[in-house]
Structure 1
Amino acid sequence: MRQRFGPAAVAFLSLLAFLREALPQTPPAKKLADECGTRPVVGLKTGPRIVGGHDAVPGAWPWQVSLQLYEIGLGYIHICGGSLVSNSSVLTAAHCTRATMNPALWRVVIGLHHLVKHSSHTVKRRVKTIMVHSNYDTNTYENDVAMFQLIRSVKFNDYIQPICLPDTAVLVKADYPCFITGWGHTKEKGRGKLVLQEAQVDIIPLSLCNEYNWYGGRITWNMLCAGSATGHVDSCQGDSGGPLMCYFPNISRFYLIGITSFGYGCGRPRHPGIYVRAPNYRKWIDKHIRAESTTMNFHCLLTLLIICWIVFHIGL
């Protein structure tokens, strides 16, 4: 004999089915950790505009995103880069938000190679919230860190992957290859590139970077220098917020070591790019990723309470 359901039960089951489809599905933490820092399409293989760089191949940097701002009459314009660190969180530079903190005017484009010619792998997401480090200093660029939370999470695939976040005690050895990427200018006072650029860089000791004929003591322990002493390789305008990443051969993964922050000109000798030292902000990053997860859980609970209230009144 078939089981018969009353109106209240039918309504309850229907609402549960709707809830399953409507709420974002967050992968378990273990799965996220297992997937980070890998490049399924190209593996490690890469070459040395970003100044002094060249075109990246599609899928080479699956955590690289474009942060785009809506301008009347122009549509969405690329402003900064960013790094996907979870399926709903993008890490970038705080100074990228100086035009506006209104999330409704921003979008994040993921799985992107060409800024204009989007592929089937390209995903666009609106922004729910923007969080800037409370101690960000607009004059010195100290604590130049921000996080964009997406309205809807993304699914990881060969072209969309999160980058690994380093612990505070991470050690980048001299033989670990490090790279920068972005759609920024390829020379000072130049123009950006439509195709994502990549370049291999050297991590430059803080003591050298702070010498009087370099940055003269301006660089703090929360920053790091990367590029080349001669200026042949550098980040530039439009690359801000993008990743400085290093490959750890012992575990075959890329880690986010820096966030593109500022520099004196582009490609100038003894003035390499300055990056936020990402490991110093691991607690801040984790806190805001957890805050997003907590908010989602609260919304789930609130929705379930509303469902129970509706079912109760239908059953009366």
Structure 2
Amino acid sequence: MRRRLRPALSLALLVLLYGPPPGARPSGVPTHGCGTRPLIDEKKTGTQIVGDNEAQLGSWPWLVSLQIYRVFQGGYRHRCCGSLISNNLVLTAAHCIKEWVNPEYWRVVIGLRHLYKRHSHTINRRVREIVVHSHFKVNSYDNDIALFELIKFVEYDDYIQPICLPDIPLLVTDKNPCYISGWVGKEEKGDLKYILQESQVDIIPLYICARHPWYSGHGISRDVICADSASGHENTCQGDSGGPLMCYFPNVSKYYLIGITISSVSCGQQKYPGIYLGTSHFSDWIVSHLRGRTSTVNIKCVLIFLTVKWVTFHLVL
């Protein structure tokens, strides 16, 4: 009997000592280790970003490029931005998907500065599934949110990190600098800029943003956030859709994903700030789609599971 117990005990001991293989982790929003920028000294950077500037390498390690395959353009092309919220989930805007609902059309590129020039840390990931909010309305700002689930996990490093998500609406004050980032300039036509851009913005109270002559009559709801620079010339444009509105909270030294870019109406014009879907209003939706979503177990974990199952079966017999 002792001889038959040894394989099972050995396997159990290995799992207890070393844990399951990395691929066996369940997907989920991280509760710690999120919202940090290892390559950036926050004390030196502070609020020095003024205007539309080129971001340095590793500035926003959760920002990703969502790219779709274009046959007549010779390969993948940038469609929207997104934010990495776990090691296999990206949060973006639902309107980015449109008719391209098949995940096989897409890839997610992480760790980019130049849109089409790879670095040693840049990685591509194929998409397993796209989840669009069931109450998303195409011609409005309502429920404009979607999740991309990656086929393979990403490994975190100095250039790739997840951003934190708020469970409840967070109070943003002058002590919480907020930023936007993407590959689009501030011109009305929204020409792509191949080098990642970044800007600091201010949160505009909703009662101001919804009134005349701002967005009066455009259906601004309580689920959105308005943000713009003091000059009114730095907000998001078309190619930035799905990207993050991110604010820094010095008390915890973390960045939180406050909003998702959903509108580029008259980008760069005064009285037309960027409109962002407030992520705190959709925390239940995000969590509900995380439940039951486990990672694809790698081959080592499969072999361990099958071996333990085989030994247990024979022990019972």
TM bin, normalised by shorter chain, reads 0.7 to 0.9
1:245: which partner in 2? 246
Map Cα deviations across residues 187-243 of structure 1 (whole Å, 9 max, x no partner): 111411111110000100000001121111521001110013652111101000000
2:222: which partner in 1? 221
Residues 1:39 and 2:37 are matched in the alignment: yes
1:109: which partner in 2? 109
Question: In 2, distance between residues paired with 1:177 and 1:264?
Answer: 24
- Percent identity, aligned pairs only? 50
SS in structure 2 of the partner of residue 41 of structure 1 = coil
Q: Aligned pair in 2 of structure 1 residues 25, 312: CA closer, same or farther (>3 Å)?
A: closer
Question: In 1, distance between residues paired with 2:133 and 2:199?
Answer: 28
Q: Tell me if structure 2 keeps the 8 A contact 1:230–1:268.
A: no
User: How many residues end up aligned between the 2 structures?
Assistant: 302
2:57: which partner in 1? 58
Map Cα deviations across residues 262-290 of structure 1 (whole Å, 9 max, x no partner): 03211111010100011111111122223
Question: In 2, distance between residues paired with 1:311 and 1:154?
Answer: 33
Question: In 2, distance between residues paired with 1:27 and 1:42?
Answer: 29
Question: In 2, distance between residues paired with 1:237 and 1:28?
Answer: 30
1:202: which partner in 2? 202
Question: In 1, distance between residues paired with 2:116 and 2:215?
Answer: 37
Question: In 2, distance between residues paired with 1:259 and 1:222?
Answer: 11
SS in structure 1 of the partner of residue 208 of structure 2 = helix
| Aligned-residue offset at 1:96 | 0.6
Q: Tell me if structure 1 keeps the 8 A contact 2:121–2:159.
A: yes
Question: In 2, distance between residues paired with 1:234 and 1:29?
Answer: 30
1:68: which partner in 2? 67
Q: Aligned pair in 2 of structure 1 residues 98, 307: CA closer, same or farther (>3 Å)?
A: farther
Residues 1:280 and 2:281 are matched in the alignment: yes
Q: Tell me if structure 2 keeps the 8 A contact 1:229–1:270.
A: no
Question: In 2, distance between residues paired with 1:156 and 1:181?
Answer: 20
Q: TM-score, normalised by structure 1?
A: 0.84
| Aligned-residue offset at 1:117 | 1.3
Question: In 1, distance between residues paired with 2:264 and 2:193?
Answer: 19
Q: Tell me if structure 1 keeps the 8 A contact 2:137–2:143.
A: yes
Paired letter, 1:277: G
1:183: which partner in 2? 183
| Aligned-residue offset at 1:174 | 3.0
RMSD between superposed Cα atoms in Å = 3.5
Question: In 2, distance between residues paired with 1:167 and 1:268?
Answer: 32
| Aligned-residue offset at 1:28 | 9.3
Alignment of 1:1-316 (within 5 A): 24-26=23-25, 32-44=30-42, 45=45, 47-48=48-49, 52-73=51-72, 74-217=74-217, 218-228=219-229, 230-293=231-294, 296=296, 304=305, 308=309
Map Cα deviations across residues 118-169 of structure 1 (whole Å, 9 max, x no partner): 1111111000000001111111121100000000111111111000101223
Q: Tell me if structure 2 keeps the 8 A contact 1:149–1:292.
A: no
Paired letter, 2:52: G
SS in structure 1 of the partner of residue 101 of structure 2 = coil
| Aligned-residue offset at 1:29 | 7.3
Map Cα deviations across residues 283-309 of structure 1 (whole Å, 9 max, x no partner): 11122223323x758x98999469847
Map Cα deviations across residues 2-51 of structure 1 (whole Å, 9 max, x no partner): x999xxx8xxx8xx99xx77x72428979x43210000001322642xx9
SS in structure 2 of the partner of residue 271 of structure 1 = coil
Q: Aligned pair in 2 of structure 1 residues 285, 301: CA closer, same or farther (>3 Å)?
A: farther
Question: In 2, distance between residues paired with 1:237 and 1:268?
Answer: 14
| Aligned-residue offset at 1:111 | 1.1
Map Cα deviations across residues 44-71 of structure 1 (whole Å, 9 max, x no partner): 22642xx941100101100000000011
Question: In 2, distance between residues paired with 1:212 and 1:156?
Answer: 45
Identify the range of structure 1 (169-178 vs 249-258) with the bigger mean alpha-carbon deviation: 169-178
Q: Tell me if structure 1 keeps the 8 A contact 2:245–2:260.
A: yes
Question: In 1, distance between residues paired with 2:28 and 2:293?
Answer: 14
Segments of structure 1 that go 5 or more residues without pairing to the other structure are: none
Q: Aligned pair in 2 of structure 1 residues 190, 279: CA closer, same or farther (>3 Å)?
A: closer
Structure 1 segments, 4+ long, off by >6 Å, are 27-30, 299-303, 309-313
